[in-house]
């Protein structure tokens, strides 16, 4: 059976009801047959986590021509694995994860469930894109980020992506973004990461918090700098994390 339209798989880490995901559906709907397969609630910070000790489940939430929506009890990566292995009747032509409520620039890429799902799509050789808006609010305005996500998604559908590479698009929280800049991932880390408070019995508990600090010197072509300058950032990411240069030195150790 020939399929006229591309199959586009959408997911996120904010849950199937998130506004950012609905914006993606609206922006990409005319580009193909859309299947949403997303967590049944928030899974922020789940990175590439997989559920292995317990089983997972999914259910169909809604179905109309060109758009089927499923929710799943697992992580964003579980959603990609389960949908491709067990639910979809063909391999997707494109995976878009997001639009995340909050930025996933710099090393956020390693903690983000949104980007974990994009990485997992890439493992399956599905051209994959993660999209994030630098606004954490549930009612954030996703219009501009949706427009840019559509631009990149169309290009991916036309050209594909090389094996082992997926894309990370971050969009600043403003009406008129200046454009998209291709960037490297900024180098930095969080500091003062915890807010200490007490539970009901007076024991100390720790809430993740903190501020991002860029490592000096700042590279001129990194994603945080582009975002600070009013541009959206587009970073090509690799599945292979081998540091090939350091292999030579390490060979003197063994």
Q: 44 to 103, contacts with a second copy by CB under 8 A?
A: 44-53, 55-58, 77-78, 81-82, 85-86
Nearer to a second copy, 2 or 196 (CB): 196
Nearer to a second copy, 45 or 66 (CB): 45
How is residue 6 annotated by DSSP?
P
Determine, following the binding rule CB under 8 A, whether residue 217 of this chain makes contact with a second copy: no
**Residues 112-151 vs a second copy: string with x where CB under 8 A?**
----x--x---xx---------------------------
Of the residues 162, 174, 213, 230, which one makes contact with a second copy according to CB under 8 A? 162
Determine, following the binding rule CB under 8 A, whether residue 42 of this chain makes contact with a second copy: yes
Of the residues 196, 200, 216, 220, which one makes contact with a second copy according to CB under 8 A? 196
Of the residues 9, 79, 109, 225, which one makes contact with a second copy according to CB under 8 A? 109
CB 68 within 8 A of CB 34: yes
With CB under 8 A as the contact rule, which of the stretches 20-28, 89-97, 138-146, 202-210 interacts with a second copy? 202-210
* DSSP annotation string for 191-238: ES-EEEEE-TTS-EEEEE--EEEEPSSPPTTBHHHHHHTT-EEEEEEE
Q: Name residues whose C-beta falls within 8 Å of residue 38's C-beta, 6 or more positions apart in sequence.
A: 10, 11, 12, 15, 16, 18, 21, 69, 70, 71, 72, 76, 79
Q: Side-chain half-sphere of 197: how many Cα atoms within 13 Å?
A: 6
> How many residues contact a second copy, by CB under 8 A?
74
With CB under 8 A as the contact rule, which of the stretches 16-24, 28-36, 61-69, 194-202 interacts with a second copy? 194-202
Q: Name residues whose C-beta falls within 8 Å of residue 64's C-beta, 6 or more positions apart in sequence.
A: none
């Amino acid at each position: 059976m020939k399929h006229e339209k591309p199959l586009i798989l959408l997911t996120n880490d904010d849950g199937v009801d998130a506004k950012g995901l609905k914006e993606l559906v609206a922006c990409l709907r005319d580009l193909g047959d859309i299947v949403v397969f997303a967590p049944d609630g928030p899974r922020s910070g789940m990175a590439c986590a997989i559920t292995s000790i317990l089983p997972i489940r999914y259910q169909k939430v809604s179905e109309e021509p060109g758009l089927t929506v499923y929710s799943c009890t697992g992580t964003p990566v579980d959603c990609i694995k389960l949908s491709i292995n067990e639910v979809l009747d063909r391999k997707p032509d494109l995976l878009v994860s997001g639009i995340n409520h909050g930025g996933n620039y710099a090393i956020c890429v390693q903690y983000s469930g949104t980007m974990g799902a994009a990485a997992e799509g890439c493992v399956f050789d599905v051209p994959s894109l993660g999209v994030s808006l630098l606004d954490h609010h549930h009612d954030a305005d996703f219009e501009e980020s949706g427009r840019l996500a559509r631009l990149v998604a169309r290009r991916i559908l036309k050209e594909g992506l090389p094996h082992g590479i997926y894309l990370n698009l971050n969009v600043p929280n403003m009406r008129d973004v200046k454009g998209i800049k291709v960037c490297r991932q900024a180098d930095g880390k969080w500091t003062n990461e915890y807010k200490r408070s007490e539970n009901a019995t007076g024991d100390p508990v720790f809430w993740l918090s903190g501020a991002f600090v860029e490592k000096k010197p700042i590279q001129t072509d990194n994603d945080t700098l582009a975002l600070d300058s009013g541009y959206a950032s587009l970073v090509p990411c690799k599945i292979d994390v081998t540091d090939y240069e350091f292999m030579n030195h390490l060979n003197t150790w063994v």
